[in-house]
Amino acid sequence: MGDTEFQKRVYEALMLVPRGYVTTYKALAAAVGCGSPRAVGQALKRNPYAPEVPCHRVIASDLSIGGFQGASAGARISKKQAMLEAEGVHFVDGRLSTPDQCFRFSDASR
């Protein structure tokens, strides 16, 4: 079973997000020409290339941690947060503590 063209676009775009940064489902959706952040979330839920394709670097638009591996709470979210903390991305009161750590896809083309 291979990846869909949409999944390939999502994974390729996500590879642009460097260690120490995050993006949002909405920004990633826009980067691949998709109007549905939920569709991006579904592609990431099926990501067979993690952590090389760093789906843990995608958070919600309100700068909360979002989901991970199909979960929105519990051990999987704790794992996502630990992975981000190890990369220098911190959350305070459930939100990204440094919003300038949000990657801008428009900057990647320069």
Does residue 55 have an active-site annotation?
yes
CB 44 within 8 A of CB 58: yes
**What residue type is assigned to position 32 of the chain?**
V
Question: Phi and psi for 18 in degrees, rounded to 5?
Answer: -80, 160
**Taking a C-beta distance cutoff of 8 angstroms, is the pair 3, 12 a contact?**
no
Q: Which of 17, 55, 59, 89 is catalytic?
A: 55
Beta pairing partners, 95? 92
- Work out the angle at residue 89's Cα, subtended by the Cα atoms of residues 84 and 94, and round it to the nearest 5 degrees: 90
Contact, 20 vs 88, CB < 8 A? yes
Question: Catalytic residues, which ones?
Answer: 55
